[in-house]
Structure 1
Amino acid sequence: MSRGAKVGLAASLGAFASLCFAQSQTATASTSNVAQGPSIATCVACHGALGAGSEMGVPRLAGKNPEYLAHALSMFKAGTRVSPQMQTVAQNLSDSDMRALAVFFSNQHPPLVKAPQPPAPELVAAGKQLAEMGAGTSVLACFSCHAAGGKGNGARFPGIAGEPAAFTVARLHEFQARAKAAPPKAGTMTAVAGTLNDTQIEQVAAYLSVSGP
């Protein structure tokens, strides 16, 4: 990102940058410097203070593996992962920008986003069963790939605990659409999502939304 572009964006997003800087005192000195810049302000404008996510379906960034976050940004920039909003942001980021943002958000631990109405206990219980045990031989347990508690497993399998329910539902539907468009490779998230029905998706989303990351 050019110096001129940074200055212009900083002027329009200064309020967001100030908010994020004020809430990031636990970050290291290097990531605190990132928090003062325009890129972090752009992120929190949608992803919430410290990357907590949004009940409207914007994913949580806080606490995720930095390698995963940086790789996701690189895919948005390359267009191999599609999101018009994210591609607009990522196209102006350098590799060092992506890495700095990834490290910053990986070090943040804001509270979970709370929905206007908490999910029904029966939904949460059913979702817990699916996440931990799956459903027979047809539906794999979420945690078999995403690690115990959905905390994430390296750069390939992101943390899924604490994601707003609306995001999990939308993301799984996205994978399902891919599965319908072309036969997915075995073991991929596309293949797994293709085995879920709408009720199971709602259950898993409810459980993950109240699970600490």
Structure 2
Amino acid sequence: MKLHAFLLMAASLAATVTTALAQQPAANAAPADQVAPAQPAAAAQAPAKPDPALGEQRFTAVCAACHGADGNSAIPANPKLAAQHPEYIVKQLQEYKAGKRPNAIMQGFAAQLSDADMRNIAVWLDRQKAKPGFARDKQLVATGERIWRGGLPDRQIAACAGCHSPNGAGIPAQYPRLSGQHADYTAAQLVKFRTAANVPNVKGDSARPNSVQMMQIASRMTDQEIRAVSDYVAGLR
């Protein structure tokens, strides 16, 4: 009987100790208010800084045949890109690639470029010196200058200088540089804007407010006025 009683006491004591140990915090566990918070997910890496040297390589491989080795196109139908605002170049390439600015030729070339390529090319072009152009039609220069500087208020045609600056330097990230641009290219773009404005049910892309604005302006211009402004732009310094 004594042995049996002893075994019962031992079992009871062991159960008590086990329960007490289970209720105590682990020896190495930190207090609840000192537990390190969960680490947030790694933030997305910022785009790498544009590399002009890589931009020159990609431009030479993809763009130079049409736009000239230094961005000064010798082909009147192809725009000069030297000294153009980087933000504008990137935006246009992205829109060509996505089909927002329809052009089968440019979409094919832009499709070959990554976002990094576009930024590199744009920064390199910004560093190139733009070669000046020349007005060709002296009889139209006065008309072109009048429209550029003062617009045609009677037809709600705004002065081009208001957005593209008096000397055609444009405004970075908003309006492109136009000074010295080929007259043929500028005229072709104005005609495209006018044509788009005259297509039924075409209101323009609200995500491209500048294109909508240009459609409205070009739709009120005659062929002669378009030629006059384009020729004047070619001679701007």
The TM-score, its normalising length taken from structure 2, stands at 0.70
145 and 38 in structure 1: CA distance in 2 versus 1, 3 angstrom threshold? closer
What is the rounded CA distance, in whole Å, between the counterparts of 1:149 and 1:200 in structure 2?
Answer: 19
> In terms of Rg, which structure is larger?
2
1:98-150 CA distances to partner (integer Å, 9 max, x unpaired)? 00001111111132356xxx512221222111111112242111111112212
Residue in structure 2 matched with residue 210 of structure 1 by the alignment: 235
1:183-213 CA distances to partner (integer Å, 9 max, x unpaired)? 647971111111111010000011011112x
Equivalent position SS for 1:162: coil
1:104-115 map, 5 Å: 104-113=124-133
Q: Which amino acid aligns with 2:219?
A: G
What stretches of structure 1 of length at least 5 have no aligned partner? 1-28
* 2:60 and 2:69 in contact (8 A); partners too: no
What is the rounded CA distance, in whole Å, between the counterparts of 1:39 and 1:146 in structure 2?
Answer: 26
Residue in structure 2 matched with residue 140 of structure 1 by the alignment: 158
Q: How far apart are residue 155 of structure 1 and its match?
A: 1.5
Return structure 1 stretches of 4+ with deviation > 6 angstroms.
Answer: none
What is the rounded CA distance, in whole Å, between the counterparts of 2:124 and 2:216 in structure 1?
Answer: 32
183 and 74 in structure 1: CA distance in 2 versus 1, 3 angstrom threshold? closer
1:54 and 2:74 aligned: yes
The TM-score, its normalising length taken from structure 1, stands at 0.77
72 and 56 in structure 1: CA distance in 2 versus 1, 3 angstrom threshold? same
1:145-196 CA distances to partner (integer Å, 9 max, x unpaired)? 1122121112121111111011011100100111001464797111111111
CA RMSD of aligned residues (A): 2.1
1:62-141 map, 5 Å: 62-113=82-133, 119-138=136-155, 139-141=157-159
1:177 and 2:202 aligned: no
Equivalent position SS for 1:110: coil
* 1:124 and 1:206 in contact (8 A); partners too: yes
Q: Which amino acid aligns with 1:95?
A: D
Equivalent position SS for 1:51: coil
Q: Which amino acid aligns with 2:227?
A: E
* 2:52 and 2:120 in contact (8 A); partners too: yes
Residue in structure 2 matched with residue 21 of structure 1 by the alignment: none
What is the rounded CA distance, in whole Å, between the counterparts of 1:177 and 1:56 in structure 2?
Answer: 21
Q: Which amino acid aligns with 1:168?
A: T
What is the rounded CA distance, in whole Å, between the counterparts of 2:122 and 2:55 in structure 1?
Answer: 10
Q: 2:170 aligns with which of 152, 175, 184?
A: 152
